[in-house]
Structure 1
Amino acid sequence: MVSLLTDVSSEMIFTLLPLFLRHVLRAPFTAIGLIGGLSESADAIFMIFSGWLSDEVGKRKPLAVLGYSISTIAKPFMYLASSWGAVLGIRFSDRIGKGIRTSPRDALVVDSISAGERGRGFGLHRAMDTSGAVLGLAVAAIIIYLVQGGGAYLGLETYQWLVLVGIVPALLAVLVLLIFVREPVRKPSPDYKGTVASTGHRGLIKGFDTRFKVFLAIMAVFTLGNSSDFFVILRAWGLDVSLIYVVVMLIMFNVTYAVTSLPAGILSDKLGRRRVITLGWFIYALVYLGFALVSEVWQVWLLFAGYGIYYGIVEGVARAFVADLVPKEKRGTAYGLYHGVVGLTLLPASLIAGWLWQTYSPASPFYFGAALAFVAMLGIIVLIRE
């Protein structure tokens, strides 16, 4: 429920941010890439630290509450944003909150389920997340229709209404977490040697299985081509798609994401995470090639659906795979490293995408992303064994 409410809020306020930056603030594509990448990378460092700290103190919930609270405090300031620099600062603060909460939250999810149901558990978590996104976008579509009646461009007044309404579910999410979520008691793994504290902050990567380290390297390769979704939204809008249609496409993306997440998690419990992740990356590569070549609006609808399928297959399963590769006492640290690698790589990924878009063509970032997805597929097939 916490994830659902948070996603309702975030989708209303931040999903249409690239259009707000272009239509209202007239930000260049390089600035949009910087905001998309830096905001993602900002949370990466805090994900590493918060995951490690949750292992050190043996508590997940306090850090999760702190992270959700910081994001909730940052969101209202979007109402006052009048330059892309201000947006960068606000988004940076929001992502710091996300960075603090994500690793302890993922570890809290794993602590609450058995090893044989990790795929199912993360699939359900992602499905709840995405159901909130669908609801948030549906409310956004209604607000857009009521305030400006459609059109191709997002107006300032419309966006301010999205911010005002979006603050409410963010506040509710913090209250639900504080009042209703209980942290399970964790027992040490019988095969775990030493303590988490013995590694210290200098030895975060030490003591992990080689497969986990290789997986992190492969994720970095994949993520370098997986720039901010800002560019996917701008690609759709660039084909003269109306604003309402863009929102509906995003709703369809999240519906396919939600519908796919749980079955993909269950499938990974039976067939193995590596195979399912490889399938997801293959679909991603095809979708990105499609975005590079797209020329008709009906094709964009299919691509958004395919993009949702990729997300549904990979997001939860990759997190379950991390849990498979590390001892439970180091899960918080492991998730911090996982999210940290992904987040830090997103900054150069988005800067490269913005540069390719502005220097060559809107198709160039998608060719680049598809190529690196195929490289990552080869890496996970050849270098990792379950």
Structure 2
Amino acid sequence: MYLADRSAPAGAQGAPDRVPGRTPSVAPAVLALGTVSLITDVSSEMVTAVLPLYLIAGLGLSPLGFGALDGVYNGVSALVQLTGGHLADRVRNHKLIAGIGYGLSAVCKPLLLFAHGLGPVGTVLALERTGKGLRTAPRDALISLSTPAAAQGRAFGVHRAMDTTGALLGPLAAFLILSVAVDGYDAVFGVSACVAALGVVVLILFVPGTAGSPGSGSGRTGAGAADGPAAGAGAGPAAGAGPQAARPVGVREALALLRLPRLRALAGCAALLGLTTVSDAFVYLLLQRRTGIADQWFALLPLGTAAVFLLLAVPAGALADRIGRRSVFLTGHALLLAGYGLLLWAPDWPALPFLVLALHGMFYAATDGVLPAAVGAVVPRELRATGLALVGTGQALARFGCSMAFGAAWTFWGTGPALAAAAAGLLCSAAVAAFVLRPPDPSRRPRGSRGTPR
């Protein structure tokens, strides 16, 4: 039970995952999906950048109310993500389910123009997050199925870098619109809707309907192969077949994924760490209050995180493929803990905002693409979207709980004690994850198992 330190153990059967002496190229499907994510993230982050101030300063919500709404914003996506992943595997059309999700999110953007209270805004955000939940697992499955196992971290890093380019441009666009428009918030929501529609058009025209994979055609190759037939969940003959040859996936096969020890370890650790990962919106609000950043500059704070993420996502993914995903994943959470420490105890340095945002971006670069790459290495291809959804759902639900708890702690205890509790929890969670995801002892490796994890 470890974080798939090496995706392709020596001796695994099937086509080789990499050509000796050559770096695997990024599949066209990955680039097309990255473009869709870039455009969609411009739209989404325009709204996300202004939403905290809009709700707290504009609508007068308390931190507790905002924590509840932020929890809904993320929790609904988590609940729907599992459905989206299973539907994509069942109908064997990942593009269709992803397209429905992107379309629903695009339709919800203009509805924010007419929502002016907690109830209406919460409803619109819940519908928008429903779209995100539907698209996330099918999109990541398309990336995983189009990429050789040994290059999964790099492929997800490229996608996340393109996605983050949109996350960088979105707040900048919101800042520019707010600085020139009379009805600033409404203008942001209107432009966001137009950009989201463009993303759906690009998906329809340029993303292939099926994922061919020169090096990941078998769900039995890679790190998942060592689990053996007894692992269940798609370990039969269809596991190595193409998507058209695989039989329809039922609920029973999906639930059998939980019998995979490595998948259980990944899902459990992702959820545990999510319980102590303070949401981005709260991090930016804490940074503003800690440093006294003026309101008009608030929408630019996500740019710092996005810029660092953009620079490091591909190198971090490639490093994870080379030295081990467990090490990179845990290092990312250590960097996040350092950011919490700076917010709590650092003196009022002029560089403090830049340091916190840099650590925040490094955390995402080391974790956001590395986790799905690790999941893709242990789940059979015909259940890839479902496996990704299982881990993503657990993590998102945990972050939903963290948003609720942190909002309540802020309201009743204040910012300092609330963040100190989150930091202590993250330290304990990371220690547990380091133990659970540790590499297995070679001396206790079952006789006859293939490969030696590194």
Interval of TM-score (by shorter of Structure 1 and Structure 2): over 0.9
Residues 340-380 of structure 1, C-alpha deviations (whole Å, 9 max, x = no match): 10121122211110111011111233223322322232223
CA distance in 2, matches of 1:79, 1:295: 41
Which of 212, 223, 229 is matched with 2:274 structurally?
223
In structure 1, the partner of 2:14 is none
Which residue identity lines up with residue 281 of structure 2 in the other structure?
A: F
Residues 124-152 of structure 1, C-alpha deviations (whole Å, 9 max, x = no match): 0110011011111221121122237xxxx
Which of 422, 426, 431 is matched with 1:373 structurally?
426
Question: Equivalent residue of 1:363, what SS?
Answer: helix
Equivalent pair of 1:43/1:97 in contact (CA under 8 Å): yes
CA distance in 1, matches of 2:428, 2:247: 36
Mind listing any 5+ residue stretches in structure 1 that lack a counterpart? 149-156
Query: Structure 1 residues 218 and 66, CA, compared in 2 at 3 Å: closer, same or farther?
Result: same
Query: Structure 1 residues 178 and 374, CA, compared in 2 at 3 Å: closer, same or farther?
Result: same
CA distance in 1, matches of 2:159, 2:125: 24
Shift of 1:49: 1.3
CA distance in 1, matches of 2:344, 2:360: 13
Which of 46, 67, 80 is matched with 1:33 structurally?
67
Check if 1:272 corresponds to 2:324. yes
What TM-score do you get using the length of structure 2 for normalisation? 0.79
In structure 1, the partner of 2:256 is 206
Check if 1:184 corresponds to 2:192. no
In structure 1, the partner of 2:127 is 93
Shift of 1:188: 5.0
In structure 2, the partner of 1:153 is none
Query: Structure 1 residues 188 and 53, CA, compared in 2 at 3 Å: closer, same or farther?
Result: farther
Alignment of 1:276-355 (within 5 A): 276-293=328-345, 296=348, 298-355=351-408
Identity among equivalent pairs (%): 29
Which of 364, 367, 385 is matched with 2:417 structurally?
364
In structure 2, the partner of 1:254 is 306
In structure 2, the partner of 1:173 is 199
Residues 98-126 of structure 1, C-alpha deviations (whole Å, 9 max, x = no match): 00000000000111111111010000011
Shift of 1:93: 0.5
Moved more, 94-103 or 84-93: 84-93
CA distance in 1, matches of 2:247, 2:426: 36
Residues 32-77 of structure 1, C-alpha deviations (whole Å, 9 max, x = no match): 0011112211111211111112112222000000000000001111
Question: Equivalent residue of 1:292, what SS?
Answer: helix
Check if 1:236 corresponds to 2:236. no
In structure 2, the partner of 1:193 is 236
Shift of 1:83: 0.8
Which residue identity lines up with residue 9 of structure 1 in the other structure?
A: S
User: Aligned pair count?
Assistant: 378
Moved more, 260-269 or 54-63: 54-63
In structure 2, the partner of 1:17 is 51
Shift of 1:302: 1.4
Shift of 1:202: 4.9
Residues 316-340 of structure 1, C-alpha deviations (whole Å, 9 max, x = no match): 1111111122222221111110111
Query: Structure 1 residues 62 and 82, CA, compared in 2 at 3 Å: closer, same or farther?
Result: same
Query: Structure 1 residues 370 and 18, CA, compared in 2 at 3 Å: closer, same or farther?
Result: same
In structure 2, the partner of 1:151 is none
CA distance in 2, matches of 1:21, 1:202: 42
In structure 1, the partner of 2:92 is 58
Residues 238-297 of structure 1, C-alpha deviations (whole Å, 9 max, x = no match): 243113432333212110011110000000010010010011011011112222335636
Which residue identity lines up with residue 272 of structure 2 in the other structure?
A: V
CA distance in 1, matches of 2:151, 2:304: 27
Moved more, 258-267 or 79-88: 79-88
Moved more, 296-305 or 345-354: 296-305
Equivalent pair of 1:357/1:365 in contact (CA under 8 Å): yes
Check if 1:163 corresponds to 2:155. no
Equivalent pair of 1:268/1:276 in contact (CA under 8 Å): yes
In structure 2, the partner of 1:152 is none
Mind listing any 5+ residue stretches in structure 2 that lack a counterpart? 1-34, 222-234, 239-245, 440-452
Equivalent pair of 2:249/2:383 in contact (CA under 8 Å): no
What TM-score do you get using the length of structure 1 for normalisation? 0.93
